Amino acid sequence: MDINAIRGHRIAIVGGGLAGIAAAEALSRFPFEIHVFEAKRSLGGRAGAYRDPHNPTLIDRCQHVAMGCCTNFLGLCRRLHLRDCFRRDTKLHFIDAEGRKHVFAANRWLPAPLHLAGAFHRQRYLSPDEQKKITSALWEMAPPSAESKYAGWTMRDWLVEKQQSETAIARFWEIVLVSALGAPLSEVSFTAARKVMVDGFLRNHQAYQVYVPTIPLQDVFDVQAAQKLGERGVHFHRQTSVKQVAYFNSRFNVRYGQGQEGTFENFISAIPWQQAPKIFSPILKNLMPKLDRLDEIESSSISSVHLWLDRPITSLSHAVLLDRMSQWVFNHGSRQLGDVSAYYYQVVISASQNLNGIPHEEIARQVFEELNSAFGASPPPKLLEQQVVTERQAVFAATPEMEELRPSQGTILPGLALAGDWTKTGWPSTMEGAVRSGYMAAEAILRKYGYHKPVGDADLPVAKLSKMLWGIGKENYLG
């Protein structure tokens, strides 16, 4: 690759979410002139925050977490010096219907996949027979051959076929997979579910660990990440929407803002699938036939319930609630609420379509009652403030049909690429999927200049025992 040949070549990246940020980070390692256009006032996309009049601090719209298997997201954070913005939790806490706490943590001395055997059997809300059948199902889904064998199946149909009880489905499979995939198991594909279970629990000793942001996500991506990229020369154009991009004389003509235009040698679209087809000229759309089918992608909503209490309800940093509407609880500690100090908790409810039409006050009241029931605070705290935020198109539903609808990042036209978690990454709609898509879009641009090395991170290494038992690890880097 001749570095001097690309010096000063301009790249327009439309969309300042994680996909656009990742693409900019990768390409900023080379002497391009990079411009990122973001229609909103802040970067980060769905991993963003809002400011409430009663709160002096930013509030994340929805809690986003990463896992140890999210190597590209963690790699992006490392390269932009963001790792201190996240804490690593090596213990998960499951709270059953009676309020009993069940700790889920790996045995430090045993290799994967045996490292979680003890943690699994400590989940006494599952009967011995249910645990045995879950283990058997995990064993059958682990080999790579299972992906083709059960292609086209929904996860729920597969679980019923494998004689999983309704209790096991609700207390184990759903609590893990609905949170990860953002859709009911009756809609989720077996392929997507297998990806979560294998990569998250069976592949590597550290894969299950959870990384939780310790500051608002807007501070992470709109402030700190933008500052680091700005130091590399990346130009950000906030509150600047792109109207249309056309192709002429081997360059991309971009119309943006209030009638401005710019010419770029390269172009990356890193905006949601609902918007992507609208910005391309008819000629460019004809070069990307899969864009015509993006309206077939189904979306799923996620609700985030924010509660401010007058006293702590639990000292746990996070918890998973079973047999309740509430799913994940995150403890954000003491925060200022107006003139008083309050204790702030965020509860996440994935695949929350069934909450449509229910008043926010009723949702918050039920969540508050569930927290009191789960943690048994006596006397119960007083609810000072509540907010419910629902992202109706938070994620794409990982249905069996979804993979056929996802376009690749590279296109037939050199210098034109797509990014976004909805593109073909092999991952569900997660921060990891978004970052991978951005890196893969950057690789598509770099191939135009004869550069063919990966810019992202390899998957976690496969434990020798997992490789011996099932042959896990045959999948290559980035799918």
Summarize the confidence of residues 23-39 as an average pLDDT: 97
- Cα(283)–Cα(79) distance, integer angstroms: 37
Burial class (CB in 10 A: 0-12, 13-18, 19+), 163: exposed
Residue 126 φ then ψ, to 5°: -105, 135
Helix axes of 18-27 and 431-447: crossing angle, nearest 10 degrees: 40
At residue 33, the pLDDT reads 97
- Asked if 294 contacts 276 with a C-beta cutoff of 8 angstroms, the reply is yes
Question: In which element (H, E) is residue 320 found?
Answer: strand 318-321
Model confidence, pTM: 0.94
| Confidence tier at 55 by pLDDT (50, 70, 90) | low
| Confidence tier at 478 by pLDDT (50, 70, 90) | very low
Taking phi first (over 0 means left), then psi (-120 to 50 degrees means alpha), and beta for anything else, what does residue 277 get?
A: alpha
| Confidence tier at 136 by pLDDT (50, 70, 90) | very high
> In Å, how far are 202, 247, 325, 348, 463 from 135, measured between CA atoms?
11, 54, 26, 27, 18
At residue 53, the pLDDT reads 67
Strands 328-337 and 318-321: antiparallel
Residue 464 has pLDDT above 50, yes or no: yes
Higher pLDDT, 83 or 378: 83
Residue 47 has pLDDT above 80, yes or no: yes
Helix axes of 128-141 and 190-197: crossing angle, nearest 10 degrees: 100
Choosing among 2.60.40.4070, 3.40.50.300, 3.40.605.10, 3.90.660.10, the CATH entry for 299-396 is 3.90.660.10
Q: What percent of the chain is predicted at pLDDT more than 70?
A: 97
The first and second tokens of residue 298, run together, are 């189904």
Residue 164 has pLDDT above 80, yes or no: yes
User: What residues have CB less than 8 Å from 181, skipping those under 6 apart?
Assistant: 188, 192, 193, 196, 395, 397, 398, 428, 429
Residue numbering of the annotated binding site for FAD: 38-39, 242
Q: How far is Cα of residue 181 from the mean position of the Cα atoms in its chain?
A: 9
Tell me the per-residue pLDDT of 436-453, one tens digit each, with 9 for 90 and over.
999 999 999 999 999 999
Choosing among 1.10.287, 1.10.10, 1.10.405, 1.20.120, the CATH entry for 111-205 is 1.10.405
Domain boundaries, the chain: 3-49+215-295+402-447, 111-205, 299-396
- Asked if 254 contacts 12 with a C-beta cutoff of 8 angstroms, the reply is yes
At residue 335, the pLDDT reads 87
Residue numbering of the annotated binding site: 38-39, 242
Residue 477 has pLDDT above 60, yes or no: no
**166-180, 335-349, 392-406, 465-479: least confidently modelled range:** 465-479
Angle at 198 (CA atoms; ends 195, 199), nearest 5 degrees: 75
> Class of 3-49+215-295+402-447 per CATH?
alpha beta
Closest C-alpha to 223, from 401, 51, 43, 86: 43
Same fold, 111-205 and 299-396: no
Helix axes of 18-27 and 71-79: crossing angle, nearest 10 degrees: 60
